Structure 1
């Protein structure tokens, strides 16, 4: 399929890629483009990295309140080059919440082992029994995120057989010093 770059804004677009320098430009351009934001439109907004030397008031974790006025929420990010980072946005109603997102964990069965607010992980008893002292110490040394990866990997198993296999594999991986259950 051919790619067409257009400066004429008439029509519908599958992808919108917007480059802005600051929040002021973001507000202006979102207003100009709002009629093109369809449910299936892929929207990327690129902004200067703090390390680029380009003055900006936009950042990865802040300054995106304006997008919420258009029912858009960031769902992915990518480094374009040493100057630009881009965030992908989707309409809120098009975003499927994961069972392992912090907001979901707060209200589901994972909350028994994962306290997302205090960032505390409690080992399930089945895993604790399978860990040798070295593996248990290694688990304790892991970051909150790595601990959470192991626990969610085990507890999201849909069948008891799979859960048991994951507990055994976790014990092996932790004994081998693997920080993440997906690590080979």
Structure 2
């Protein structure tokens, strides 16, 4: 979607940075059980805390998981202002790539979702989602060698190449995992992608 050189690549997470997974979660609940859950805590980081839903097991859990199908991963709404933020970055000469922790089976659905929303994303890379001492996204970031990696989940910044600017998108604070000593390992922190784009493009180096 852009002819920007590889050396000006910015890597972006999808859920929580580009896409509003939390809202989509509520609609998956409605698809599975017939009722849209009420909002419990608008500042909650995790969807299960944001919405008035119960923790599931057994058949009800299987029913809910079945709602996370091709249609679900193709229709997650954009976070407010995220599409515009991406276009601002592309207009400034950056190439955008999405690195998302997602099952390979839904990679095409993720790309289709982003395209339908108007995101100027050049490529979508999917990785494992299991966290440990090193981010499951670290290998993809190392191969891509972007200028920036932006993600809303602090453990996904572990073990990234030192040359990559690690931008943490903080978003909702309630019960957030984005706390503690590891915050010092990030290079910048922002409330959302809009804030990151504005900050990045204002830097003296950007001019």
TM-score norm. by structure 1 comes to: 0.25
Higher relative CO (CA 8 A, sep ≥ 6), structure 1 or 2?
Answer: 2
TM-score norm. by structure 2 comes to: 0.23
Rg comparison, structure with higher value:
1
